[in-house]
Structure 1
Amino acid sequence: MGIAILGRIKARLKNNSAAVQEAGRQTQPCAISCKLETEIRYGKLRGWAYNVHNPGERLTVQLCRDGEVLQEVLSCRPRPDLAHVIPTPFDYGFAISLPVVDCRKSPAIFSLRVAEYPDAPVKNGVVTLAMCDKDSVVRGACDKQLNGRFINGWAVDAATGQGGRRLVIMIDGNFLTEVIADAPRHDIAKAGLGEVNCGFRVRLPKYFFNGNSHVVMVIDSVTKTVLDNTGVKFSLADIKNGLERERSRLAGEMYKSYLRHFKGKMA
């Protein structure tokens, strides 16, 4: 009987302690510093979040769409690069995987919030994935056909026509790689769409040669613009056809080189 009474006393003390902590949280002045960085890096949305008046509190950052929580992470990643912004020990960073959805018909809009303080403002807290259009800051596209085992495409600044855009390559919703669109694309320059050095070329890993269909998306890391002809499925048959086209192209180039060499000998 004495043990039962002791257990009830401990439970009551525990409940009282939790109530006191909750009351302290409600009465304590709240100043949440939460910011989402504008650039996607390695397929993730990155930023930081902490309570100015209670730095020891670890905040939960949620990624939402239409009020539904898609992902949530704890802001506890080291960010020593932000020593001038956040207090020691600088472990208030977070990284959320970029959600990949079909935005060919309409833009996909996501928002960030702090779970413990849902009304706290989040700087740059709205993320929009949208396809290229006439008003986009960035324009570009993936080639409609695979070139061997490679995904090819181009991207330029819509205002200046300059290349060098940083692009995020996603396949089946998973991060594959980042590329800089600075490879020569003379066809784009001839068409007046941008400068010559605006192309990219990404090799598909072998594990995608499994007979299943896959979805590739190419996204500008800064503007979150999705390039044209992405979000489209490709299959093993498309890869095989691409390999055949690549072999034919190489054979044609070798034949032309042989003819040039032969004509030079005859002359």
Structure 2
Amino acid sequence: MRGRIDGMTGEMLRAWAWDPARPRERLLALLVIDGYKSDIVVGDQPRQDLAGAGIGDGAHGIRYTVPGHLCTEATREVSLQVVDADGGMVEVDRRLISFTRQNAWLAGRVEGFRRGRCTGWAWDQRDGTRRLKVQAVWKGEVVATELADRERKDLLSAGIGDGAHAFEIALPPSVWQAPDPNEVLTIQTADGQEIGTIRLPENDLLKSLVDLGRQAEREGDHATAIKNLEEALRLSPDNVDALWVRARIAAGQGDTDKARALATQAFDLHPSHARAVVILGRLAHNEGNYEEALGYWQQVQPGDSAFRESLIKAGRALMRLGRPVEVLAPVRRALSLNPDDIDAHRLLADAHLAIGSVALAAKHLRALAAAQPADRKIAGQLQKVTGVEPRKTAPLSLEFLENPTMHDWQGPGEGAVTAPSERANGVVLRPAERRGSVSFLVSEPQEFRAGELPHYGLRVTGNGTAAELAFRFRKDVAPLLLTGLRLYIETRAAGDGTPAPMDVQLVVRQSGRDVRRTLLSCQARKRAKMEAFDLVLTDTEAAALEAGDAWLVLRVAAGRAALLRAPRPLLKIEPEQPRTTGYEGPPLPDLSRFGIAAAGARA
């Protein structure tokens, strides 16, 4: 779930919200302003900046008219909360927003001054098609008048009327060629409502100040760079170029609070500004806020000087978030730009190891070893994986499923299915009913150990129906299961942690229809719990298994989310035990002592 509070325009609070798992869905949201809760609003406003950043189709903007009693000059805490797929509220952004006292109907901004022209926009919120007449006032006199009727795409995408509300007022040379440093230029409507003020630079000095600041930064003279940039910001506080260059210097000096404040100001003024996005991405990444950093890195466009950096750091963020399958796409793109990219080879090796693609991991480890022959760690990893065969060709004696680890996942790592879908060999994800869907997210891979494929979990959510994750039996284990196995499964609720009713079912195909037998019914709760049950086949079920028509199905109730892994064998049931479908002997041992180490009890 992603979203952002963009800021205030007049009495209009602007934001956006989007769920990558439901990319075309318009989300319901509410805004909490210093404890005051708005009505539910729909995130359906089209915005070009969102579409350009890959946020769905761009129609995910939110506009909320703030009540008059809150439209006073103050800094207020605003929280954006979104209704998730389960009907709960999830906070996706919280920040401090500056509220200003303005006329209830007027919104606008004075943006800058260049080559004798003052630019900005003015909008009558009562009538989105009305064009306001604006005036420039200098030393108490109106020196120029202009109609705010210029079309601008950024205004349209931000929901500012129909977008045709910008102005450029040409000032008389007598005003801007020899400005009085003690005076400010005021821009107002024809009836005297102030839109904003600006201090005129001497001889259009702003660009020169920013250029001098950037040159001094390149030369390492940060004191001179800061002096020029802060003078530019004094003359024009909303100068985006001065803001981001000053933010970059602050970040390099370790002043992250100042860097974030300046870069955020630049981003709020120009949400698609590449340099502000990169600075915010770096700050979030360095502080371990990987989800936030990922949102910024995904906005960097091809052709930008930071594009390669964005691909690599997006990959690192996804690895940190436990989403190795999603690492492959951006990092492969980075490798296509430079086949010798060491960082890309390193990330791809780690991602392939995490999802069990040992041969592909070895390919990238060889490239690393060739580039860094003295690195003992790389050599050790390559030695471990070279010649390692996937466990499916040399299964453990008690293994009974074709693919219990879900290796060779076909991707993507996150999404939804509306029909049965084989996502990995012998692993099918499906909704229990045709009219529902199942959302999924690959998560929590275990650490790779040479000679074994890693297990990882799949977070599933049933939308309008129960969610089913089915694992196909190996055909050659029917004799073992006629005697029986005792199995264990770890259950855990996902999402908001609401307990999730779930069943483990044996499903076989007989006479052209599915026959189900429930092996275990339990409640998946927020805290992980080990559950034990027995699996003993009948002769008819064994015949279906040998024909390849037998599945072990994990079923989670509709509207609930759970993290699922395949059940694991604990021990054999001795032949002399009764062939029952449930354990009826003495109490089972405390299974918390087994975990993955229970493989030692499989003999």
Is TM > 0.5 for Structure 1 vs Structure 2? no
Relative contact order higher in (CA < 8 Å, ≥ 6 apart): 1
**Which of the pair has more CA radius of gyration?**
2
Looking at secondary structure, tell me which structure has more helix per residue.
2
